[in-house]
């Protein structure tokens, strides 16, 4: 196998490619010690990564907006080929190409058994829930790499039924590890159904995935809001209406111009804690999107909140926000009888169905998010361009296995 090139956070605004030892079939020592697991991962597999993506959640760390330490390995969106498996892996084989949920889940705890794989109880000493290459998520090595170890593989890995078909559609299938299920989760938990009018806050990759998901779920009108004109243009490219929150016209007034009424049936927050206020000169306001989706959603409506909120933000604009305490108008949500769904998407709940939608031509998620393939060595450029607002979803190709478009 040789070494293992991997993307590493060095300091705010800078990532580098480092050579690490190849992964072993072992769980992190802290997880093993605190959870009573054997360190040897007989239940795991090692993947040669076919595709591994840059995510907005990674970008929060790289901007210095989390407590991630220098040296944190990065990457939790993983699609790969099995090159080694532990002796307890029963239903997967070397050569299989699989999608890996960004949630690391044991498949055995109460939460996993109840389908809440985003908050597994056995894979993180610090809290419920874990992920590859992420701060405070258990110390699992990141997946923006040539190779990665996946534990509890029979439970976590989604095998693609046909290798040739998988490689042909790999740009779409690479989105199954996170943003497509996450966007779908936002739309689904917001109650999007046939004929719904939907507002999606944020036209980054997750927002675009939520918008495409809302279309799959039967929405009559999908409205996407952002202040990045290129990203709004990308949303319009697959049939969404758009509003520009950098304009002085209120969100409600812009929605009314589209729908004839100033509210929607349901809404999705695909922005998270680095939210901006409304208007040309508005600065960062961490609760702005949460408050705006309550304002624009009808009484009795539902709100899906897949956007990331954190408990530690060194760059927050005020002391409360630094610990995740935000000025949310909960009274408004209460008065309108809104339902809220927050937290990590439980990817395993959705990924097989979304895979089938891709394989049978019903979903074109790579087109919706403008998937753009670059070599692993160009990850620093991808991070820089993404941070500057590029209307793209960067897909890293560590081994040159992604066919030319």
Confidence of residue 91 (pLDDT cuts 50, 70, 90): very high
Predicted confidence (pLDDT) at residue 379 exceeds the cutoff of 90: yes
pLDDT at 282: 87
Q: How many CA atoms lie within 13 A of 292 on its CB side?
A: 30
- How many residues make up the chain in this entry? 405
What would the mean pLDDT of 290-296 be, rounded to a whole number?
A: 97
Q: Is residue 232 helix, strand or coil? A: helix
Q: Report the alpha-carbon distance of residue 240 to residue 251 in Å, rounded.
A: 16
All CATH 3.40.50.720 domain ranges in the chain, comma separated: 182-342
pLDDT at residue 286, as a whole number: 93
Find the range with the poorest average confidence among 92-101, 273-282, 373-382.
273-282
Farthest CA pair distance, the chain: 61
Burial classification of residue 54, based on how many CB atoms lie within 10 Å of its CB (0-12 exposed, 13-18 middle, 19 or more buried): buried
Q: Would you say the C-alpha torsion 167, 170, 174, 180 has a positive or negative sign? A: negative
pLDDT tens digit string along 320-374? 999 999 999 999 999 999 999 999 999 999 999 999 999 999 999 999 999 999 9
- Per-residue burial over 223-245, b if 16 or more Cβ lie within 10 Å, else e, is bbbbbbeebbebbeebebbbbeb
Q: Does residue 404 carry a pLDDT above 90?
A: no
Please determine, for residue 385, whether its predicted confidence score (pLDDT) is greater than 70. Answer: yes
Specify the CATH number of the domain 182-342: 3.40.50.720
**Range(s) for CATH 3.90.180.10 in the chain?**
4-178+346-397
Q: What is the DSSP letter of 76?
A: -
∠ Cα 189 194 199 (to 5°): 55
Residue 193 is predicted with a pLDDT of 98
Tens digits of per-residue pLDDT, 178-202? 999 999 999 999 999 999 999 999 9
Query: Which residues make beta-bridge pairs with 99?
Result: 79, 158
In sequence order, the 6+-apart residues with CB closer than 8 A to the CB of 353 are: none
Average pLDDT of the residues of the chain: 96
Tens of pLDDT, residue by residue over 148-172, are 999 999 999 999 999 999 999 999 9
Of the chain, the percentage scoring pLDDT greater than 70 comes to: 99
At residue 395, the pLDDT reads 98
pLDDT band at 280 (very low <50, low <70, confident <90, very high): confident
Tokens of residue 308, six digits: 């990331």
pLDDT above 90 as % of the chain = 96
224: nearest Cα among 373, 248, 212, 109: 212
Residue 129's pLDDT is 96
CATH architecture, domain 4-178+346-397: Alpha-Beta Complex (3.90)
What is the band of 114 on the pLDDT scale with cuts at 50, 70, 90?
Answer: very high
CA distance 329 to 249: 21
Residue closest to 118 by CA, chosen among 61, 36, 181:
181
Comparing CA positions, the residue from 180, 136, 130, 135 lying closest to residue 156 is 130
Under the banding of pLDDT at 50, 70 and 90, the label for residue 2 is low
Residue 405 has pLDDT above 80, yes or no: no
Which of the four pLDDT bands, split at 50, 70 and 90, describes residue 297?
Answer: very high
10 Å Cβ neighbour count for 259? 17
pLDDT at 322: 93
Instruction: Give me the helix-helix angle, 288-296 and 251-259, nearest 10°.
Output: 40
Q: pLDDT of 33-66, one tens digit each?
A: 999 999 999 999 999 999 999 999 999 999 999 9
Does the pLDDT of residue 255 top 90, yes or no?
yes
Residue 75 confidence class, pLDDT cut points 50, 70, 90: very high
pLDDT for 1 equals 59
Task: Enter the tokens of residue 222.
Answer: 């999908």
């Amino acid at each position: 196998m040789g070494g293992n090139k991997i993307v590493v956070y060095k300091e705010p605004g800078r990532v580098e490619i480092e050579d690490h030892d190849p992964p072993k079939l072992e769980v992190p020592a802290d997880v093993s010690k605190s959870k009573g697991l054997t360190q040897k991962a007989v239940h795991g597999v090692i993947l040669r990564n076919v595709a591994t993506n840059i995510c907005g959640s990674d970008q929060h760390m790289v901007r210095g907006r989390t407590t991630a330490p220098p040296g944190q390995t990065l990457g939790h969106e993983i699609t790969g080929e099995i090159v080694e498996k532990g002796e307890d892996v029963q239903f997967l084989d070397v050569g299989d190409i699989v999608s890996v949920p960004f949630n690391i889940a044991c498949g055995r705890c109460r939460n996993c058994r109840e389908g809440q794989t985003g908050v597994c109880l056995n894979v993180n000493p610090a809290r419920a829930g874990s992920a590859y290459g992420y701060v405070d998520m258990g110390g699992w090595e990141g997946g923006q790499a040539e190779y990665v170890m996946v534990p509890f593989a029979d439970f976590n890995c989604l095998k693609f039924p046909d290798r040739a078909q998988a490689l042909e559609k790999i740009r779409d299938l690479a989105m199954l590890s996170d943003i497509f299920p996450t966007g779908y989760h936002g739309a689904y938990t917001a109650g999007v159904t046939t004929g719904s009018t939907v507002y999606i806050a944020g036209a980054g990759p997750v927002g675009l995935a939520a918008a495409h998901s809302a279309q799959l779920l039967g929405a009559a009108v999908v409205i996407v809001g952002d202040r990045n004109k290129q990203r709004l243009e990308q949303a319009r490219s697959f049939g969404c209406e758009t509003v520009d929150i950098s304009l002085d016209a209120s969100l409600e007034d812009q929605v009314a111009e589209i729908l004839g009424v100033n509210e929607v049936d349901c809404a999705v927050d695909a922005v998270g804690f680095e939210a901006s206020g409304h208007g040309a000169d508005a600065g960062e306001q961490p609760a702005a999107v949460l408050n705006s989706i309550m304002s624009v959603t009808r009484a009795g409506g539902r709100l899906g909140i897949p956007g990331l909120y954190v408990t530690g933000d060194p760059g927050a604009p005020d002391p409360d926000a630094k610990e995740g305490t935000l000025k949310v108008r909960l009274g408004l949500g209460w008065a309108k009888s809104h339902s809220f769904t927050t937290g990590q998407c439980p990817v395993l709940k959705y990924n097989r169905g979304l895979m089938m939608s891709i394989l049978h031509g019903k979903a074109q998620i790579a087109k919706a998010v403008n998937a753009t393939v670059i070599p692993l060595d160009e990850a620093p450029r991808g991070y820089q361009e993404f941070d500057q607002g590029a209307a793209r979803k960067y897909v890293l190709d560590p081994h040159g296995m992604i066919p030319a478009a």
